[in-house]
Amino acid sequence: MKPGAIDRCIAFIKSQYEGEEPVALHAPRFLGNEKKYLSDCIDSTFVSSVGKYVERFEKQCADYCGAKYAVAVVNGTAALHMALVLKGIGPGDGVITQALSFVATANAIHYTGASPVFVDVDRDTLSLSPAKLEDFLKTESVLRDGARIHKASGLRLRSCIVMHTFGHPGRMRELLRVCEHFGLVLIEDAAEGMGSFLDGRHLGTFAPIGALSFNGNKIITTGGGGMLLFDDEALARKARHLTTTAKVPHSWEYDHDAAGYNYRMPNLNAALGLAQIEQLPGFLASKRALAAAYSKFFYDEGIAFISEPAGAVANYWLNAIALGDRRERDTFLEKTNAAGVMTRPLWKLLDGLPPYQQCPRANLDNARWLEDRVVNIPSSVTRWRDGKT
């Protein structure tokens, strides 16, 4: 880093968020119909999992993402869990995913009784590497009685979850090709990807199942919430059934034909979501303008700013930079946070967390390289006070 770079960085970030002290990493913005829809929802008394806002929000998400079906659930973790349940993943199975992810990706696998199996990411996309995945499957697995078995652990490798880090797309076409060749079902953890496109397609719609999150820190929020995206009607119907306690429709009988889940998104949350999705184009424009300003600033400072890969239009949900090494990263984190500018390192790699230390893993050199260097910087929607988003 050039001398004085961190101080200039602090001043630049503060200039983007004048009047906000401290500067948050990602604060939600409620600038539209939120209060109107919430109050209408309360007046209707339908605040839980039955109500018009859930259906309207699902329809808006499906239309925006270009998915045939969208099923709203309580959060992104539940969406991922349900995706695995729908594909019959359970004990004895291994689900390949990246160690560079938020813990929810591995937790969802764990809930099914399956085990995460960690494979490396690419340095440029920060997402699962198709080349590393292919190499791992070729060298570490074998086809036995029609099942793909991980040689060292004996786990059946049946599925793979790619996570689109910070809204930057992974290499979907290559990943789909590798998964198809080795007989794995691909699932997209697009929790961070609402508003991101690759080759004109929304993230979460490449694989048979995609999962979105609307947590308070995401680009649009429902407070807590998630969405499953499908093109397959039978899968969507099953998801709707299982997430609503597997209740068989009847005017008064309590009949449940499976051990279902109470995962349906409440109407109150969907009301908030509907108001938020109406503002998504404005939020995206504001975030892309901020990313362009950051990109120029960090270019002038000689610091690597993480940009969307070729063919992608990313949402720039969380902007990120890569510093020279871990020492530089830690100094940056210390000084910016002390100055009231919230910055955060990458998540600790999942293979090192106590619940996942025993899980199989491949060489994770790229993930470790990124863990030492990548820092997220404030990324909330800017220019919002005057309603110009």
Q: Which residues bind ligand PLP (CB under 6 A)?
A: 75-77, 101-102, 104-105, 163, 189, 191-192, 213, 215, 226
Q: Give the largest CA-CA distance in the chain.
A: 72
| Displacement of CA 149 from its chain's centroid (Å) | 28
DSSP assignment of 20-33 equals -SSBPSS-----SS
Q: Which residues contact 375 (CB under 8 A, 6 or more apart)?
A: 320, 321, 322, 323, 329, 332, 333, 343, 344, 345, 346
Q: Which residues contact 241 (CB under 8 A, 6 or more apart)?
A: 247, 258, 260
Here the tokens at position 181 are 């060749």
CB-based burial label for 110 (10 Å; 0-12, 13-18, 19+): middle
The type of residue at 347 is: W
Q: Which residues contact 388 (CB under 8 A, 6 or more apart)?
A: none
Q: What is the C-alpha R_g of the chain?
A: 21
Closest C-alpha among 79, 73, 26, 56 to residue 225 = 73
